[in-house]
Amino acid sequence: MDSEKIKYLQENYNLPSYRCQQLKEAFFHKHISEYTNITTFPKELRGRLQEEVPVLTTSLYKIYASQEKNAYKALLQLKDKRLVETVLLNPKPGLWSCCISSQVGCVLGCTFCATGTMGLARNLSSEEITDQVLFWQFFIKEEKIPARLSNVVYMGMGEPFHNKKEVFKSLRELMNPETFHLGARHLSVSTSGLVPAIYEFTEQFPQVNLAISLHAPNNELRVKLMPINKPYPLEKLMAAIEHYIEATNRKVFIEYIMLKEENDSLVLADQLADLLKKVSKSHLLHVNLIVYNQTDSEHIETPKEKARKFKNRLQEKGLSATIRKNLGRDIDGACGQLALKEPGRTTYFQSTNFVEVI
């Protein structure tokens, strides 16, 4: 459900403007998930809409809960029966964020990312992207979670800038005061480094957060981990980051997955610091170190103590750096683990009312 579908309903069901406002209020503010529960609508009309125009473009296939109930992963089925994953995370008390997908699969082939092993099936439409957010808003209400959805991160399946048209459209929808009404600074887009799109993103969305999946401080290593570094090497990527910072004066988040004895040495920490310190406003860079989440690849996670030493070295060099708290590892819902693979041991929900099934 989005503003375009509301317009479709208005035109095809001859709805007066006040009825459209009632739909927006029901779905986007009260988070009512079914037409039948919109009591301000005539019963007959509710029944017709329920049967003929689904609220969401996706249907729930399965949803998994982490043992601590601070992470949920949903497998959503699209109209063409393909599946896509999205994750709801609780990094801090009262703060819930969702990680959404922009593609079914991914073509980039980053060696550490489970999604990259799938290849690319297709892009998602703007509505399919924003419906993941609406799904979680419905879920939070149904499960009576005492908080609201605070942040949305484009860091699920797919490379957002490979689906630039629909991703940009979905960002505008999420910021639309008539529907989702999310602030730009509560939205984040993570890219592996499609340089031309970074410039376009900077121009069109200067207040939306930008995250860069870097993962290596030199071209030789980065090409091995991320084939996209061939057309867009670090020199071009760093120039795009410099442009974003100069144009927006806003922070850029540098994502760096820690891979044992591959990119976690102090020598490489020094190289990373040297690379990032070349940015004229390097104080606006923040390095998120991510302990690798195991997938079917040959990579191994860096020991925590070694990750701490890497972080400390960056800080000694004057950079802002933290080790990201991993949520959802037990349900394959953490960074790099999304690949439509069912976890081995979780509880899950599987009904329109999210009733727990053991």
| Spatial distance between the Cα atoms of 52 and 31, rounded to a whole number of angstroms | 20
Question: What residues are paired with 75 via a beta bridge?
Answer: 62, 85
DSSP 89-140: EEEETTEEEEEE-SEEEESS--TT-SGGGSEEEEEPPHHHHHHHHHHHHHHH
DSSP 50-85: HHHS-S-S-EEEEEEE-TTSSEEEEEEE-TTS-EEE
CB atoms closer than 10 angstroms to residue 165? 10
Sign of the Cα pseudo-torsion (144, 146, 149, 155, in order):
negative
44 is catalytic: no
Catalytic residue among 98, 110, 113, 335: 335
85 is catalytic: yes
Catalytic residue among 51, 85, 98, 127: 85
Dihedral class, residue 346 (left if φ above 0, else alpha if ψ from -120 to 50, else beta): beta
Active-site positions read 85, 335
